[in-house]
Amino acid sequence: MTKPVAIVIGGGSTGAATAHDLALRGLKVILVERGEIASGTTGRCHCLLHSGGRYCVKDQEAGIECIEENIMLRKIMPDGLELNDGLFIAITDSDMDYKDKFIAGCEACHIPWEELTPQQALAIEPNLNPNLKAAIRVPDGVFEALRFCLSFLATAKKNGAEIHPYIEVLDLLSTGQGAIKGVHVQDRTSGRVYDIEGDIVISATGPWAGDIAAMAGASVPIQPTPGVMVSMNQRVVNLVVNRLNKAADGDIIVPQRQTSIIGTTSWPVDHADYIPVPEDHIQMMLEKGAELVPGIRQARMRGVFAVARPLIASAGQADGRELSRTFECFDHAKRDGVEGFVTITGGKATTARAMAEKTADVVCRKLGLDAPCRTRDTVLVSYREYYI
């Protein structure tokens, strides 16, 4: 029997995890990405393996997704994560007022938490603001975005997937009867233009999902919502440090390798291709970051970057902070009357595996395949094997 062919567009965390899931379920997967792997949103994200703490008060659905996936990723990506936990620290009275809500949120989302006295917190992280009033420890972690994607892709390749970076989708191929049968692409390394046909096309193009859907005459309610991050030339903490309050600009420092990344801001844009960094955001990151860890003032800035979240829009939102961080899989047969085409977007890198599971369920149902998800306990191979 020949395998059904699934074409995945996009080599960020979502496309990578989707390729892995579908390959494990026995489909022939062909993934195309117009640039380098992780060159879209995923590469430039904050690299926080969310515990769910940042969402547990306002967006509990996202909070629960995060902690479930966090625990699962620890099992399937054991050698690819910095696992030092995270602290939510209170500095002002307003932060202290938030503490009970936060603890209730952790409980509601089943996020393990532990309250530390300021002395205990300073014993673990001496560089914290010495005036902190309270600290709560949660199982945050840190990944490295390119290698996060490569781990999924290396494993997908082992299971027969073809991964093609530098191939851009120019158009979708239509059967002429309201269905999509493949992609019209250009190999950007040679200029060659050709077609790839398959049984289903999955768009995992993050904030570009609207562009791809438009090629099918379909739509997705995506709101590209960038954020700015500033990386410093020192690792000032070992645990992730969050402000114990509702999400705000510059309320988190993520340590990674030899750096500390302060983030982030949030504002809507029309298109995700090029995001200029608003200059005032940089200064704000440095000031807000120094409220958490005063040593930020002595560290030197190493890099500044911005990239757009693929947030699913709903009515009446302003800066994007109010939009849910959960994900959605759109079957365009139901939504727009277009068969053979599915979009998966929204979500987080942390929840990429769950996004892939949901998408692959939809794909299998559409293709009439009875293949259960196996990504929950399949340990991924080393990212280096992507190149082997």
Ligand X SMILES: Cc1cc2nc3c(=O)[nH]c(=O)nc-3n(C[C@H](O)[C@H](O)[C@H](O)COP(=O)(O)OP(=O)(O)OC[C@H]3O[C@@H](n4cnc5c(N)ncnc54)[C@H](O)[C@@H]3O)c2cc1C
Q: Which of 132, 307, 329, 333 binds ligand X (CB under 6 A)?
A: 307
Q: How far is the CB of 310 from ligand X (least distance, A)?
A: 6
Tell me how far apart the alpha carbons of residues 251 and 129 are, in angstroms, rounded to a whole number.
Answer: 13
- The site for other proteins (CB under 8 A) is made up of 35-39, 42-44, 47, 79-84, 123-127, 144-147, 166, 187-191, 229, 231, 235, 237-239, 255-259, 261, 273-274, 302-303, 305, 382, 384-388
- CA dist 60 and 136 (Å) reads 18
Shorter beta-carbon distance to other proteins: residue 59 or 82: 82
Give the one entry of ligand X, other proteins, none that residue 41 binds, where binding means its C-beta sits below a cut-off of 5 to 8 angstroms depending on kind.
ligand X
Write each residue from 200 to 239 as x if it is in contact with ligand X (CB under 6 A), else as -, in one continuous string. Answer: ----xxxxx-----------------xx------------
Mapped onto helix, strand or coil, the DSSP state of residue 321 is coil
Stretch that binds ligand X, among 41-49, 231-239, 279-287, 332-340 (CB under 6 A): 41-49
Q: How far is the CB of 359 from ligand X (least distance, A)?
A: 11
> In sequence order, which residues have a C-beta less than 8 Å from that of residue 208 and are 6 or more positions away?
10, 40, 272
Q: Which of 19, 27, 42, 137 binds ligand X (CB under 6 A)?
A: 42
Query: Residue 197 forms beta bridges with which residues?
Result: 182
**DSSP-assigned states of every residue in 117-162:** -HHHHHHH-TTS-TT--EEEEE--EE--HHHHHHHHHHHHHHTT-E
How far, in Å, CA of 32 to CA of 35, rounded? 9
Nearer to other proteins, 83 or 373 (CB): 83
Which residues have C-beta within 8 Å of that of residue 168, sequence separation ≥ 6? 32, 34, 185, 186, 188
Whether the Cβ atoms of residue 98 and residue 264 lie closer than 8 Å to each other: no
**What burial class does residue 26 get, using C-beta atoms within 10 Å of its C-beta: 0-12 exposed, 13-18 middle, 19+ buried?**
middle
Residues numbered 69-128 forming contacts with ligand X, rule: CB under 6 A: none
Q: Which of 48, 77, 138, 363 binds ligand X (CB under 6 A)?
A: 48
Q: Binding ligand X by CB under 6 A: which of 348, 353, 354, 380? A: 348
Nearest approach in angstroms of CB 167 to ligand X is: 7
Closest distance of CB 213 from ligand X, Å? 11
Does position 9 bind ligand X by CB under 6 A?
yes
Residue 349 binds what, of other proteins, ligand X, none (CB under 5 to 8 Å, by partner type)? ligand X
Place of tokens 């794909």: 363
Backbone angles phi, psi at 98, to 5 degrees: -85, -15
User: Smaller CB distance to ligand X: residue 206 or 250?
Assistant: 206
Q: Measured between alpha carbons, how far is 383 from 151 in angstroms, rounded to an integer?
A: 4
Which residues here bind ligand X, judged by CB under 6 A?
Answer: 9-15, 32-35, 39-42, 45-48, 50, 168-169, 204-208, 226-227, 264, 307-310, 345, 347-350
